[in-house]
Amino acid sequence: MPASLAPISPELFADFKAGKETALEQIFRANFEAFTQEANEKLDDPGGAQKVAASAFLDIWDRRAKIESPDQLQALLHAAIGGEAAHELRRRTAAHHMGGNHAKTHEPTPVDSLEQWWTKVTGVLHAAHADPSAVAKQRAEQSRHEAAAHMKKVAGKKRTGTYAIIVILLAAAAGLPLWYFNKGAEGTKAQQLLNKDDAKSMRTKDGQRGSVTMEDSVVVHMGTSTFVKYTASYPLDARAMQILGVADIKAPKLDSPLLVKVGNAWVYANDAEFIGRSFPEDSNAALLKAVKGTLTVRAGKIEQPLAAGATLLVLNNGTFMDLDANRAEFAFGWIGGNFDAHNQPLRRVLAEMKKWYGIDIVPKDTSFLDRPVSMSASLDSAKVAIKALEDGGAVKVTLVTDGKASLVDNAANVKAKKR
C-alpha cells in the first residue's frame, strides 16, 4: 500500500524548501524504509526498491523550490516511486524477451543499510555540484546495453527474409542503438545526443575537485574548472560523455565500451581507466593517459590503441602525436594530489594555478612571463604552492587577498643572495 510521510513540521518544511541538507536528511531517514516497501511491492526486489526510493528522494530534492506543501511532497514521492519502478520492470521485460529462451532471470540487487544509502545520497549531492535529478534518474544497474550485446551476437549470423525483419523490428521496439556496432556511426550518434538541450552535466569551479559514481559503476574523478556532459538517458540509449576540462574516468568491464569525447577525439574504454584533458587553452587538443587496461582512441577515420602507462596528444585536426613527458606531468600530476611543473612557462603555470588553487596571480608586467618554472606542491595548500612558485620561478607574490595576488620579478634578488 502507498506509504505515508512521517509528520513534517512547518519549520522542517521551510528548511527543506530553503535547501538545507539537514532537513532532507531528517525527512529521508524518517521515510526511506516506508517508501522502499512501497517500491518493493512493485518490484519484489528489496535492493532494487532501495535504489528506486533513493532516486525518488533525490528527485523531490531537485524540485523542492516548487513544492508548496508536505502533501504535495508526498504525492511527488509516490509518482517518482511509480515511474522509477515501472521503468525498471519494462527494462527487465525487454531484456528477457531479447534474450529468448536462454535469458537469465533478474538477480536480486544487494540490500544496504539506511546509513549506506544516506551516504550514497550525500555523495550525489556533494559530487561536484552535479545535477541531482540527472544523477538520481540514471537507471537500474543493468541497462539496454545488455540487449544490445545480444543483438551484436546474433548480428554476426547470416539471416534472410522474415527473421531479419523480426530482429530489426525488435530492436526498434526496444529502442536499441543499432548504430552502436559501427564505430564511426556511434560516435556521431553519441555527439548528437550530447548536443541536445536535454543533455545532463556536472561541473567543478576553480579550486574544486569532485567524484561521481554513475549508475553503471563508471567513476568520474573531475579535476578543477571542469564541465562533464553526458547523455540525457545515460546509460540507456548511449553510454557517452564529453570532458571539457580534465577528468580521470574508471570504466568497469561491461558488454559495451564507454564513449568519452575529449577534444576532437573519442576514447573507447572498457575495463580501463584513463585521464583526459581538453581545456580551451589546449586549443581543443586531447591530452590522454591510459592508467589501466587498453583504450581505443579514434579521431576521424584514424584510431589506435593506448596501453596502460602510455600518453597521447590528439591535435584539433585529428593528428596523433607523442606527448612530451614534461607536459604530461603538468597535465596529469593532479590525480596524485600534486601540482607539478618542470620547465613550464610562467604564464602557463599562473593559468594552471588559478584553476587548481582558485588564486588569480597577476604579474606587474609581462616581460618575464616566458621564464621557465619548475615546482611541485600539494593541491591542498595554496600557501605551499605560492612558496614553491616563488622558489621555482624567481618571483615574489604579494597582496594575497580574496583569491587575488600580485606578482613581481624577483630574479635580481635571488641572484644577489647566491653571490
In a domain, 174, yes or no: no
Q: Tell me how many domains the chain contains.
A: 3
Tell whether 117 and 240 lie within a shared domain: no
Task: Assess whether pLDDT exceeds 60 at residue 322.
Answer: yes
Please check whether residue 165 lies inside any domain of the structure: no
302 & 344 share domain: no
Within-domain flag for 59: yes
pLDDT of 389 reads: 95
CB neighbour list of residue 295: distance below 8 Å, 6 or more residues apart: 267, 268, 269, 272, 274, 288, 305, 306
- Position 143 scores a pLDDT of 40
Domain that holds residue 33: 10-126
Confidence of residue 147 (pLDDT cuts 50, 70, 90): very low
Do 343 and 315 share a structural domain?
no
Examine the domain organization and report whether 197 and 321 are in the same domain: yes
The answer to whether residues 154 and 181 touch, using CB atoms and an 8 Å cutoff, is no
**34 & 102 share domain:** yes
Residue 71 lies in a domain: yes
Give yes or no: residues 312 and 374 share one domain. no
CA gap 168, 172 in Å, rounded: 6
What tens digit of pLDDT does each residue of 353-364 get?
A: 999 998 899 998
Whether the predicted pLDDT of 414 surpasses 90: no
CB 278 within 8 A of CB 286: yes
CATH code of the domain in which 401 resides: 3.55.50.30
pLDDT higher than threshold 90 for residue 44? no
Residue 184, in any domain of the structure: no
Per-residue pLDDT at 43 exceeds 80: yes
pLDDT band at 107 (very low <50, low <70, confident <90, very high): low
Q: What is the pLDDT at residue 184?
A: 56
Instruction: Say yes or no to pLDDT of 240 above 90.
Output: yes
Cell output for 46:
528489496
Of 80, 105, 126, which residue sits at a domain end?
Answer: 126
Q: What pLDDT, in 10s, does the model give residues 9-35? A: 999 999 999 999 999 999 999 999 999
Most confident option among 97-111, 162-176, 363-377: 363-377
pLDDT tens digits, residue range 166-213?
333 333 333 333 233 345 566 778 888 898 888 999 999 998 999 999
Instruction: Say whether pLDDT at 91 is over 60.
Output: yes
Higher per-residue confidence, 342 vs 125: 342
Do 250 and 307 have their domain in common? yes
Q: Look at residue 235 in the predicted model and tell me its pLDDT.
A: 85
Both 355 and 315 in one domain: the answer is no
Q: What is the pLDDT of residue 36?
A: 93
Question: pTM of the predicted model, to two decimals?
Answer: 0.56
Q: Is residue 246 located within the same domain as residue 302?
A: yes
The torsion of the CA quartet 354, 355, 358, 364, rounded to 10 degrees, works out to: 10
| Element at 195 (helix H, strand E) | helix 183-195
More confident residue, 100 or 335: 335
Is the model's pLDDT at 242 over the cut of 90?
Answer: yes
Q: Given 272, 304, 327, which residue is the final one in a domain?
A: 327
Higher pLDDT, 145 or 407: 407
Mean pLDDT of 39-68: 89
- Whether residues 269 and 314 fall in one domain: yes
pLDDT for the residue 175: 34
Give mean pLDDT, residues 69-83.
88
Cell of 330: 603538468
* One domain for residues 352 and 323: no
Share of the chain above pLDDT 90, in %: 52
For the chain, give the percent of residues with pLDDT over 70: 80
Above 50 in pLDDT, residue 152? no
Q: Average pLDDT of 327-333?
A: 93
Q: What integer best gives the mean pLDDT of the chain?
A: 81
pLDDT value for 95: 55
Looking at the DSSP assignment, which residues form a beta bridge with residue 360?
A: 404
Query: What is residue 269's predicted lDDT score, i.e. its pLDDT?
Result: 94
In a domain, 232, yes or no: yes
Give the helix/strand (H/E) hosting 406.
strand 404-409
* Residue 329 CB neighbours (<10 A): 17
User: 360 in a domain, yes or no?
Assistant: yes
pLDDT at 144: 42
Residue 167 belongs to a domain: no
Is it the case that residue 297 has pLDDT exceeding 50? Answer: yes
Confidence band for 218, pLDDT divided at 50, 70 and 90: very high
Q: Which long-range contacts (C-beta less than 8 Å, at least 24 apart) are formed by 142-145?
A: 142/91, 142/95, 143/91, 143/215, 143/216, 143/235, 143/236, 144/91, 144/94, 144/95, 144/174, 144/175, 144/176, 144/177, 144/236, 144/237, 145/235, 145/239, 145/254, 145/255, 145/256
Domain boundary among 327, 353, 382: 327
